[in-house]
Structure 1
Amino acid sequence: MQTTGQTAGANGAGRRPVLRFGLQIARFDYPGVPPHEIFDRVVDIARTAEDAGFDSIWAQDHFYQAPVPGLGWQADEPVLESYAMLAALAARTSKVRLGTTVTGVTFRNPALLAKAVTTLDVISKGRAVLGIGAAWHEEEHRGYGFDFPPTGERLSRLEEALQVCRAMFREERPSFSGEYYRISEAVNSPRPLTSSGPPILVGGGGEKRTLRMVARYADACNLFGDLETVRHKLGVLERHCAAEERDPDEITKTKMACLLISESDAEAQRRYEEMAASMGDYAAMLGGIAIAGSPQRVADQVGEYLEAGLDGLVCYLPDTHDLDTVRLAGETLVKNFGGLS
């Protein structure tokens, strides 16, 4: 296990990652909280996470509650639109980065998306991150009237969107003409607060195209899977970086984790088993994403991922509404591995 202050992962000594430990706010059906108080609880969660050492807050970019391993779901559960929520959080936090894990490329024209993320960057005084991926939740596309093209087209759209967003962040009046998107001397004023624009995080682990796009365009990636899977994906990414003549140490590498942390291993294991039983045939999904145990056991498991080459984690907590659990999670991670500051 690594100790406080060590650089995360096997790579990247001396660089500053885009993120270290992020908290994803993945649910809004908080027990006993009526609709008009949902955002108040979100603010409490975000501020508690910030105080506990989490360096970033992430929203799922969904319009229906997405099926999240370990959480169960109903499509008609309450969901807040991600960029409205993040902009409001920008005015109520002071240190955490803010982004989505991840925006579906099918939901927004990429120039408009770049404008929204730039606005978030201005409101937050430079704390925005663009998280983007190829989209996947067909049900909400159908419900909201968005086209849901085949996987290959969605990936092609993602590659064009990455080029458009980078240009909107970095150039004064960029133009681009692709198969799906185009801009013509587009104005993005005010500009992002750094010359290179908000960092870009690409979500997903597709080995032929997604990880190649990470190597070509991204500042960060967020993977899925158990330890063996993560090691394999990192190897694939390194090969894409070599082909692109890109230093892989420039890319912050994280994975999504369902974090079940309790004061005792027995309590965490009990909760894990309850969640797995509720998932039926999908219980294997939880096994690939869950980190469960007491603070020491969690630290041991996280340490294995960092030693494998990750820089950090994006975590969601089944009981995010419990501020004591949020605090315990953040303090455990930062105590054992250090934060960005």
Structure 2
Amino acid sequence: MRLGLQVPSFTWSNGQSELGDTFAMIAERAERAGLHSLWVMDHFFQIHMVGPAENEMLEGWSALAFAAGRTNRIKLGTLVTGITYRHPGVLIKTATTLDVLSHGRAYLGIGAAWNEQEHKGLGIPFPPLAERFERLEETLKLAHQMWAGDDSAFTGKYYNLERPLNSPLSVQKPHPPIMVGGGGEKKTLRLVAQYGDACNLFARIGKEELQRKLGILQEHCAQLGRPYAEIEKTTLDSIQITKDGHGDTLSPNAAIDLFGSLAELGIDQALFSLRNANDIEAFDLLATRVIPEVEKIKVAGR
């Protein structure tokens, strides 16, 4: 089993003047600890589940490019890019650029977008949900075309590209893994099965609901003739790891048990944000106590 770190907040006690240094330190510590991946949200305003809209929020793809320059091994992705934020041809070019410059470490995390507040605030059109899903599917089709090196005209309902040239092509072959975020059963999980390489579900929905969602994904795969085992199953959680597990924190052993219970469901990679991400102790515990044991855990179905 693998572990990945999400950084959802850039508001730290040492202030904005040290924001870049702190983010770089977290990325470097995550890599040294042995984490498989590093993720940032793709939002322009902070989301209400994390903090006030006015809190510091970095643009996701620029932040990942910065992190790529401070690391060498860790995979890098958005969790996840809203389809409305960028023209799809530009988005695919952006993800390709990160993959090339990082020597093949990019994920393309993508979803239908939801935060109407930041759309209105920055003047970004916010179409109805059904249209956003149609745009998402067109973008997924275009991603596969561009990453295959096919620059023939793309004609869709919403997007028309005369020559979707993508040079250089990505380092990862056939392309950077595409993570479609969300647990919608009729549309999102069907798009994962048809176009994606990874799914992402909230761990907080609980073991039974996770198992049910994965079962639905498996049904979509069967209907489309897609091997279910090809898809990387991931979850997202928010935790705090301390040496003794005081309060609502997790001790290293409790964290290992948590990740092990996810592996029993078939989760390949557990992603989490650390509420004490700028505390070196958390990374020391991950490096010495948690990750070596979690890497030994066999994922069900693998």
Equivalent residue pairs, number: 295
Of 178, 191, 216, the match for 1:236: 216
Of 129, 146, 154, the match for 1:151: 129
Aligned partner of 2:11 in structure 1 is: 29
**Structure 1 CA distance for aligned equivalents of residues 66 and 181 of structure 2:** 24
Of 41, 50, 61, the match for 2:22: 41
Q: After the TM superposition, which residues 248-327 of structure 1 pair with which residues of structure 2 at under 5 Å, given as runs?
A: 248-265=228-245, 267=246, 270=247, 272=248, 292-327=249-284
**Change in 2 beyond 3 A, CA 1:330/1:137:** farther
Aligned partner of 1:188 in structure 2 is: 166
Alignment check: 8 A CA contact 1:55 1:339 kept: no
**What is the TM-score of this pair, normalised by structure 1?**
0.83
**Structure 2 CA distance for aligned equivalents of residues 24 and 237 of structure 1:** 24
Alignment check: 8 A CA contact 1:222 1:255 kept: yes
Q: After the TM superposition, which residues 160-171 of structure 1 pair with which residues of structure 2 at under 5 Å, given as runs?
A: 160-171=138-149
**Structure 2 CA distance for aligned equivalents of residues 144 and 339 of structure 1:** 46
* 3-state SS, counterpart of residue 261 of structure 1: coil
**Structure 1 CA distance for aligned equivalents of residues 221 and 288 of structure 2:** 34
Aligned partner of 1:60 in structure 2 is: 41
- CA shift for structure 1 position 327: 3.4
Pairing 1:107–2:85 present: yes
CA RMSD of aligned residues (A): 1.6
Structure 1, unpaired ranges of 5+:
1-7, 9-19, 273-291
* 3-state SS, counterpart of residue 193 of structure 2: helix
**Structure 2 CA distance for aligned equivalents of residues 180 and 163 of structure 1:** 12
Alignment check: 8 A CA contact 2:108 2:177 kept: yes
**Structure 1 CA distance for aligned equivalents of residues 48 and 269 of structure 2:** 23
Alignment check: 8 A CA contact 1:63 1:140 kept: yes
More divergent stretch after superposition (318-327 vs 209-218) = 318-327
- CA shift for structure 1 position 159: 0.7
Alignment check: 8 A CA contact 1:129 1:201 kept: yes
| Aligned residue type for 1:259 | I
- CA shift for structure 1 position 330: 4.9
**Change in 2 beyond 3 A, CA 1:194/1:142:** same
- CA shift for structure 1 position 36: 3.0
**Structure 1 CA distance for aligned equivalents of residues 112 and 191 of structure 2:** 11
Alignment check: 8 A CA contact 1:65 1:75 kept: yes
Q: Which runs of 4+ in 1 moved over 3 A?
A: 329-333
| Aligned residue type for 2:9 | R
Structure number with the bigger relative contact order (C-alpha 8 A, sep ≥ 6) is: 1
**Structure 1 CA distance for aligned equivalents of residues 241 and 163 of structure 2:** 50
Of 60, 63, 66, the match for 1:82: 60
Alignment check: 8 A CA contact 1:170 1:195 kept: no
